[in-house]
Structure 1
């Protein structure tokens, strides 16, 4: 991929994600993968020899980041997921489940051999014993039963190239603290689930940099009956064959008890602790929609064309046995709809309190599509109470800040990397307009409408086994 050509995007309204008002009729110039100028079209000259893109009437935003993905299948051509991300304007991802093959794909992207998103890659999952994914064949999970194992697992992950350590729900207190201590010693961040076995307020101040999903954790800590509910989480016993499914079912019951005793003052205290510790939260509301309202998963969705054959059967199995824990009563269906409403309301309250929110999807589970689902997450964040600009920031400048890239990524400013999305309509008027993508710029590489259509066609052909 050549980045040598200079490009000028002329006439768009720039929404730079810094919080500044939209600026109409701008020229943005790009050279050597970087944004070299942003300013009024009447004042910013078009560089000699530049490829000029007339984007009058369109809207230009930073490239989007999905901060929670599980995107790689060992058997698929790496162009599959990469194409779906770029076609959807997703120019960076945080891979939350480390595998050696992801590092090989990152090398292809970084070397310019593959057009794909910038990748941040986790360790394997570090979980308690039994691990929630221990009954899934070949899942890269390390089940930890002793602090020495925890320290060794951190060291092995760092030596294998992990950018951060991923912790999971069943770590016991000693092992959780050992992971954090060893990661701190090796100067590597820790992110992931809260542990059922350690009070959430302690975990906030433990050094863990981000928490993922809206399961359990916040509401137990935000309850007037916190000690009993934290103890209920710690008392969960999972069942062999479907550890994760049985866990989800029991967590939902603790959540239901917790919202009955939700205390706004206690919640405010938890949010203030998150802000004070500069801990980020990735709500992944897109996956909660699928878990709490599995009837929303449509197997006739046209985006299924981009997923491999057998996906409908896989989704049906996972929805029944994992998401629904073997089945739900009519009462449980109603409870889950209420829980989803509470999840959104809690995310809105977190935003209002100043908690750093990161947009993430948890793709590619049931009901989720790589790249496409980030736009669902943005819509969910607005339904939760964020403004469209705040939702955009959760997928642009906030991930850049979290990843230590804010000085060179995440906004549309001169001196930033050229990760851009050109939209046909205003995302601040309706966040769903982020789906109306005209073109994408990924690390300086221009992806026009024709190339974007070809990326999607390539992904469909790979999924169908035709390429």
Structure 2
């Protein structure tokens, strides 16, 4: 889009909706929300909030208004090379901010396009390139560049180069050795940069919680060995994992799954509670990415006849089949292993519910573009999974609004529907507090003060579908 096409009216007024502001307050019916330029300036009962002279008034009586959503774990690589493809799908699904978990130069170019109003898209927070040990888990997968770090000197250099390259934070991966892992954290702290990513296989998880890493991603390995009555042996087993080419990541997932199975057999709630207390005390966030664990644990859930496939490039089924078979399933699963994974998924849900009950800060993220995951659409699946884990609809919504804003240091200007916050909004046709699936009933979206009405939302989806099929 051009600068002219996304110039916003100075004053806009949303009138009559039920506001669910994500602060935890009850829904408030018949509200007026005033937006001036890109900022919410007033929220209150329609009878009490006057409409500014010249405002563009939008009557949304019977609708529900929530903050824009944030997907805190994405990899926005599109086979189309057209940035409108994923950007349109994010916006059309109410995703107004994303955290990119694998930094690449193209992402910085896309962010600049969004910030200069050349492209309508979500606010982007971009990681460093992936920092891993040797052999890196993605080293034998095509077109997946990583930075291997095996020493303190390499750690210092990798962190410095990432920051110089514009990274907003440092992304660490599973095979970083203990010396390299600690050196990355130390160098990042010296440079005032946060660290997020996987746990290291080589450092006991309780130590990592207090290491300075600000968020942990996925439920692979991390919590269960540390929550086991056999913690020392299982943590040692994590450090002894040996991966093999073709493919390192697939062989790693297979071995981690076996350790997970042993860990849940000796799971002790009291030990888990202690781990959760440490996470809370250290103010460390967790992004469970239940959406991707669903397809890893239950690959039969991937459906190529899903109507959302029309928004994906023609080569998607082949790439998904490769990732599902060679990476997620490690080449082959026996019937016993398949049954174990189905049970492990139930454990993942129960663990996330226990984390929420203990007060652990949870972040909604999908791990897009894994098999069975769709840009924008799958964040709503993640919200469903969080509710299935035991979170209330309000808490699930906060995991995609308030909590990401807090984690990213934006709580004073983003994440809720309050005066002084940025005008990232989603207008829904149905109540998400009665059924979290209603976050999918999107009527309109506001991105940084720009109103995407029902018709334009349809155009965004049509354009994304056309781009996916090669008709630009």
Give the alignment's TM-score, normalised by structure 2: 0.98
Contact 2:80 2:467 in 1 (8 A): no
Contact 1:168 1:195 in 2 (8 A): yes
Matches within 5 A, 1:390-401: 390-401=395-406
Unmatched runs of 5 consecutive residues or more in structure 2: 1-5
Unmatched runs of 5 consecutive residues or more in structure 1: none
**Cα displacement (A) at 1:74:** 7.0
Runs of 4+ in 1 over 2 A off after TM superposition: 72-75
Give yes or no for the alignment of 1:79 onto 2:84: yes
- Cα distance in 1 for residues equivalent to 2:51 and 2:443: 21
Which residue of structure 2 lines up, in the alignment, with residue 252 of structure 1? 257
Give yes or no for the alignment of 1:306 onto 2:311: yes
- Cα distance in 1 for residues equivalent to 2:245 and 2:167: 29
The one-character-per-residue Cα deviations of 1:341-389 (angstroms, maximum 9, x if unpaired) are: 0000000000000000000000011000010000000000000000000
The one-character-per-residue Cα deviations of 1:118-148 (angstroms, maximum 9, x if unpaired) are: 0000000000100000002331211112221
How many residue pairs get aligned? The number is 467
- Alignment partner of 1:24 out of 17, 29, 48: 29
- Cα distance in 2 for residues equivalent to 1:384 and 1:450: 35
Give yes or no for the alignment of 1:361 onto 2:366: yes
- Alignment partner of 2:354 out of 349, 357, 366: 349
Corresponding residue SS for 1:208 = coil
**Cα displacement (A) at 1:317:** 1.3
Contact 2:78 2:85 in 1 (8 A): no
- Cα distance in 2 for residues equivalent to 1:303 and 1:336: 26
- Alignment partner of 2:181 out of 176, 179, 195: 176
- Cα distance in 1 for residues equivalent to 2:62 and 2:37: 26
- Alignment partner of 2:426 out of 421, 424, 434: 421
What is the CA RMSD across the aligned residues, in angstroms?
A: 0.8
The one-character-per-residue Cα deviations of 1:23-43 (angstroms, maximum 9, x if unpaired) are: 000000111101111000111
Contact 2:296 2:324 in 1 (8 A): yes
The one-character-per-residue Cα deviations of 1:47-86 (angstroms, maximum 9, x if unpaired) are: 1111111111110000000000001237511111100000
The one-character-per-residue Cα deviations of 1:381-414 (angstroms, maximum 9, x if unpaired) are: 0000000000000000000000000000000001
Give yes or no for the alignment of 1:58 onto 2:89: no
Give yes or no for the alignment of 1:337 onto 2:342: yes
Which residue of structure 2 lines up, in the alignment, with residue 292 of structure 1? 297
Matches within 5 A, 1:196-207: 196-207=201-212
Contact 2:178 2:202 in 1 (8 A): yes
- Cα distance in 1 for residues equivalent to 2:369 and 2:252: 20
Q: Which piece of structure 1 moves more, 142-151 or 437-446?
A: 142-151
Q: Which piece of structure 1 moves more, 257-266 or 133-142?
A: 133-142
Which residue of structure 1 lines up, in the alignment, with residue 3 of structure 2? none
